[in-house]
Amino acid sequence: MKLERLKRLTEIPGISGFEEKVSEYISEEIKGKVDDSWIDNMGNLIALKKGVNGSNQKLLLMAHMDEVGLIVKRINDDGSLAFYTVGGVDPRVLIGKKIYIGNDMLPGVIGFEAIHLQERSRVLKTPDLKQLSVYAGFSKKDEAKKSVKVGDPIFFSTEYMQVDGRAIGKAFDDRTGCEVLLSVLEDLCDYPVNYDVYFAWVVQEEVGLRGSGVAARQVKPDASIIFEGTTAGDNPELPEPRWSTRIGQGPVLTYAHSGLVLDRRIFETILETARSNRIPFQFKSRVVGGTDAARIARTTSGFRAGVIATPSRYIHSPVSMIDIGDFENTVLLAKTLVREGKVLEK
Residue 117's pLDDT is: 58
Task: Assign 129 a pLDDT band (cuts: 50, 70, 90).
Answer: confident
Domains of the chain (ranges plus CATH)?
4-67+170-344 (3.40.630.10), 69-156 (2.40.30.40)
Residue 300's pLDDT is: 78
Residue type, 206: E
**CA gap 248, 258 in Å, rounded:** 24
Q: What is the 3-state secondary structure (H, E, C) of 252-276?
A: EECCEECCEECCHHHHHHHHHHHHH
pLDDT in tens, 287-296: 777 888 889 9
Neighbours of 76 (CB within 10 A): 14
Residue 68's pLDDT is: 97
- Looking at the DSSP assignment, which residues form a beta bridge with residue 47? 37, 199
**CA gap 13, 21 in Å, rounded:** 7
Residue 115's pLDDT is: 60
**CA gap 60, 225 in Å, rounded:** 6
**CA gap 63, 225 in Å, rounded:** 9
Helix ranges restricted to H, the chain: 4-11, 20-30, 141-144, 172-190, 212-219, 264-276, 292-297, 324-340
What is the three-class DSSP state of 5?
helix
Strands 153-156 and 69-75, how do they pair? Answer: antiparallel
pLDDT in tens, 40-56: 999 999 999 999 987 88
Q: 15: which DSSP letter?
A: B
Long-range CB contacts for residues 268-276, cutoff 8 Å, separation at least 24: 269/306, 269/337, 269/342, 269/343, 269/345, 270/225, 270/306, 270/308, 270/333, 270/337, 270/343, 273/333, 273/336, 273/337, 273/340, 273/342, 274/250, 274/333
Residue 150's pLDDT is: 97
Q: What is the DSSP string of 154-179?
A: EEE----EEETTEEEES-HHHHHHHH
pLDDT in tens, 205-264: 999 989 999 999 999 999 999 999 998 988 777 777 777 788 999 999 998 887 788 889
| Rounded percentage of the chain residues whose pLDDT exceeds 90 | 78
What is the three-class DSSP state of 285?
coil
| Residues annotated as part of the active site | 205
Q: Is residue 123's pLDDT more than 80?
A: no
Q: Looking at 29-38, 218-227, 242-251, 334-343, which range is the least confident one?
A: 242-251
Task: Assign 2 a pLDDT band (cuts: 50, 70, 90).
Answer: confident
Task: Assign 152 a pLDDT band (cuts: 50, 70, 90).
Answer: very high
Residue 284's pLDDT is: 84
